[in-house]
């Protein structure tokens, strides 16, 4: 190709879609990894069904993986510039995610009568109108792949698994990237299966060369700008769930407390446990419990025994853990509960994202049961928020709920690798053996945290439990004592506000509109506000990670603006929470409960309508 054919762009969105077994997640990951390694900023978003292998060729079985690459990436992007559809069902269900004019690569070999019928098509899907609206590439992916398989003497079943490599090869060509990173990956991944490496490499190369021969797309080649504003340092690609697991490992090392995770498999949180289970060499004590309740209860037991104790779950699991969370509040033991939120209520939308567990995290317990709630806001910063959750739990002797979500947990991003020694210090509130003045609920006058006396420590034998105790330790049903202990537990959580940074506002300081977000929506919100600021619109933005307690200056910020819009992927839970604290502030809601992240476009439309 000649260089003048290549278009330079700041960013590009590619969506891989196919049957659940077509390897779309892998293609997406390989492309994002290769992009990151060659200097792009990236964000990814897997969009897959709950069924592992839904009926072949049906819309229900379509699995998608969106990759956003460019110079400065906040989110996985709205609509895509390039769509790969490996069968008619993927084409039918995913075309709505493609921009007008997008390049759409379809595997023409799969558009058989039978598959078209299964996808719900009555007529030829490729109408003239559609062909005009998009650049549709009818690629013979299956037949080319099969031909290579036959040449190499590989069975058909194995060969068909490589179809995704053909599509990936085409994408590498279209994005003016080389194949070497992916060759290296395949060589590593299938080190013990040289036949598989050979086949995959051949199919990948064939896809690349096929694209090179295709005049139709030569005007569509895009070179995406390299990341320029990234701070210097060593980088890697990371998903939110892995980042969460690593943040907990780092907190364990830094605090000197053994890491314990008691969990039960649940989508989309399972990968936190899967990741930690690999790291016994770093002291991670992982226990796959018999149920969600045993997950948290084993963690509470481990915390009593002195571990940095954690449990990971998603919405329904958090519901099951409610009673035990109350026990952790009552016993004032450090505990980190990771809730990777998904669509609810009940089983809801297990593989889709949502922010609808906030109310449950804040209030979902019997009695007056305050605890700390924090929320991560990007896949990469799950690491820091897991670390922070652990620090707060250990230093303030309280359970902490960390809210992430399916979008952050499964999505990936570039992560600037820190040095563990550079992370903030963590000082667990350990009691001193044989301290004659030790009392189980004696409190630090500043933080109101009690001391942690561990079984095995001499001279500090005591009992904890779910019944109300007096400060000295024994049971008490005295009315005044109960009032005192309720107040003290609340005050302890309130005082955490003295140890967290002030809330910050980005964007235009004299804005007409303040956009408020929390948790996993920060990518789309940041971009929407940034773009509006560039267009000269007076919009400011504040994003919350500390949810309970809120930063101390929250009210000062909210009172500064005449119009405030609180944006969240639920029906207004954070808004309701803010209204109880700041009833004087005029706040409206922008909500979406579709199991999908915000799109920049829809946000801008709404904000524009507000500033009129």
Q: In terms of Cα–Cα distance, which of 590, 608, 609 is closest to 533?
A: 608
> 533, 539 in Cβ contact below 8 A?
yes
Give the integer Cα–Cα distance in Å for 92 and 132.
Answer: 17
Residues touching other proteins, count (CB under 8 A): 69
Shortest separation between residue 301's beta carbon and other proteins, angstroms: 3
Can residue 232 be called a binding residue for other proteins (CB under 8 A)? yes
Can residue 265 be called a binding residue for other proteins (CB under 8 A)? no
Can residue 482 be called a binding residue for other proteins (CB under 8 A)? no
Nearer to other proteins, 27 or 145 (CB): 27
> 320, 357 in Cβ contact below 8 A?
no
Nearer to other proteins, 169 or 306 (CB): 306
Shortest separation between residue 444's beta carbon and other proteins, angstroms: 22
Can residue 463 be called a binding residue for other proteins (CB under 8 A)? yes
Burial 6-33 (b: 16+ CB within 10 A, else e): beeeebbbbbbbbbbebbbbbbbbbbbb
Give the integer Cα–Cα distance in Å for 246 and 167.
Answer: 33
Nearer to other proteins, 255 or 270 (CB): 255
Shortest separation between residue 234's beta carbon and other proteins, angstroms: 5
Shortest separation between residue 587's beta carbon and other proteins, angstroms: 38
Q: Tokens for 571?
A: 């029906």
Nearer to other proteins, 252 or 356 (CB): 252
Residue 232: strand pairing partners: none
Shortest separation between residue 185's beta carbon and other proteins, angstroms: 8
Among 6, 130, 214, 293, binds other proteins (CB under 8 A): 293
Task: Tell me how far CA of residue 500 lies from CA of 348, 423, 468, 549, in angstroms.
Answer: 34, 15, 29, 9
Can residue 26 be called a binding residue for other proteins (CB under 8 A)? no
Which residue stretch of 20-28, 86-94, 128-136, 286-294 sits at the interface with other proteins (rule: CB under 8 A)? 286-294
Nearer to other proteins, 457 or 596 (CB): 457
For the chain, the distance separating the N- and C-terminal CA atoms, rounded to the nearest angstrom, is 48
Instruction: Report phi then psi at 481, rounded to 5.
Output: -65, -40
C-alpha torsion sign, points 257, 263, 267, 270: positive
Can residue 55 be called a binding residue for other proteins (CB under 8 A)? no
Q: Tokens for 523?
A: 């990518």
Can residue 263 be called a binding residue for other proteins (CB under 8 A)? no
**What DSSP letter does each residue of 293-352 carry, written as one string?**
HHHHHHHHHHHHTT-EEEEEE-HHHHHHHHHHHHHHHHHT--EEEEEEE-B-STT-BTTS
> 394, 257 in Cβ contact below 8 A?
yes
Give the integer Cα–Cα distance in Å for 447 and 451.
Answer: 11
Among 324, 340, 496, 511, binds other proteins (CB under 8 A): 324
Site residues for other proteins, window 327-366 (CB under 8 A)? 327, 331
Shortest separation between residue 295's beta carbon and other proteins, angstroms: 8
Can residue 189 be called a binding residue for other proteins (CB under 8 A)? no
Can residue 413 be called a binding residue for other proteins (CB under 8 A)? no
Tell me which residues touch other proteins (CB under 8 A). 33, 36-37, 39, 227, 230-237, 246, 249-250, 253, 258, 260, 262, 279-283, 285, 287, 289-291, 293-294, 297-307, 309, 323-324, 326-327, 331, 417-420, 454-467, 474-475
């Amino acid at each position: 190709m000649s260089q003048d054919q290549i278009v330079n762009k700041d960013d590009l969105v590619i969506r891989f879609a196919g049957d659940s077994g077509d390897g779309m997640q892998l293609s997406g990951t390989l492309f994002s990894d290769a992009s990151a390694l060659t200097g792009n900023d990236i964000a990814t978003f897997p969009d897959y069904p709950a069924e592992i292998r839904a009926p072949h060729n049906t819309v229900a079985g379509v699995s998608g993986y969106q990759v956003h690459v460019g110079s400065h990436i906040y989110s996985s992007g709205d609509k895509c510039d390039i769509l790969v559809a490996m069968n008619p069902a993927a084409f039918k269900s995913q075309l709505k995610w493609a921009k007008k004019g997008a390049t759409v690569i379809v595997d023409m070999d799969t558009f058989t009568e039978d598959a078209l019928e299964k996808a719900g098509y009555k007529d030829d899907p490729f109408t003239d109108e559609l062909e005009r609206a998009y650049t549709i590439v009818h690629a013979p992916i299956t037949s080319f792949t099969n031909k290579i398989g036959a040449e190499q003497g590989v069975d058909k079943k194995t060969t068909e698994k490589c179809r995704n490599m053909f599509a990936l090869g085409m994408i590498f060509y279209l994005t003016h990237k080389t194949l070497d990173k992916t060759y290296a990956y395949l060589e590593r991944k299938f080190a013990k299966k040289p036949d598989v490496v050979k086949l995959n490499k051949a199919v990948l190369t064939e896809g690349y060369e096929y694209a090179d021969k295709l005049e139709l797309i030569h005007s569509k080649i895009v070179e995406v700008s390299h990341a320029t504003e990234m701070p210097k340092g060593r980088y890697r690609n990371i998903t939110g769930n892995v980042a969460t697991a690593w943040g907990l490992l780092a907190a364990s090392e830094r605090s000197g407390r053994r890491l314990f995770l008691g969990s039960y498999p649940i989508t989309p949180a399972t990968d936190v446990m899967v990741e930690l289970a690999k790291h016994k060499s770093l002291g991670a004590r992982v226990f796959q419990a018999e149920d969600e309740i045993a997950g948290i209860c084993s963690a509470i037991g481990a915390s009593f025994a002195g571990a940095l104790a954690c449990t990971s779950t998603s919405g329904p699991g958090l519901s099951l853990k409610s009673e035990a969370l109350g026990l952790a509040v009552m016993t004032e033991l450090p505990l980190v509960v990771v809730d990777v939120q998904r669509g609810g209520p009940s089983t809801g939308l297990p593989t889709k994202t949502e922010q609808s567990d906030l109310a449950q995290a804040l209030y979902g317990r019997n009695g007056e049961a305050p605890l700390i709630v924090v929320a991560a806001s990007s896949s990469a910063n799950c690491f820091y928020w897991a670390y922070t959750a652990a620090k707060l739990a250990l230093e303030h002797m309280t359970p902490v709920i960390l809210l992430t979500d399916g979008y952050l947990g499964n999505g990936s991003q570039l992560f600037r690798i820190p040095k563990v020694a550079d992370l903030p210090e963590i000082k667990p509130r350990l009691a001193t053996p044989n301290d004659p003045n030790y009392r189980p609920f004696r409190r630090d006058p500043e933080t109101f945290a009690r001391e942690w006396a561990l079984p095995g420590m001499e001279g500090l034998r005591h009992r904890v439990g779910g019944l109300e105790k007096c400060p000295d330790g024994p049971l008490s049903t005295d009315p005044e004592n109960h009032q005192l202990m309720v107040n003290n537990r609340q005050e302890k959580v309130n005082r955490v506000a003295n140890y967290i940074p002030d809330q910050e506002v980005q964007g235009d300081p004299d804005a007409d509109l303040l956009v408020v977000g929390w948790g996993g929506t920060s990518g789309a919100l940041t971009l929407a506000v940034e773009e509006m600021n560039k267009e000269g619109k007076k919009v400011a933005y504040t994003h919350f990670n500390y949810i309970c307690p809120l930063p101390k200056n929250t009210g000062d910020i909210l009172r500064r603006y005449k119009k405030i819009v609180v944006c969240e992927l639920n029906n207004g839970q954070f808004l309701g929470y803010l209204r109880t604290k700041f009833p004087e502030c005029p706040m409206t809601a922008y909500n979406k409960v579709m199991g999908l992240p915000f799109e920049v476009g829809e946000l801008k439309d709404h904000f524009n309508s507000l500033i009129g």
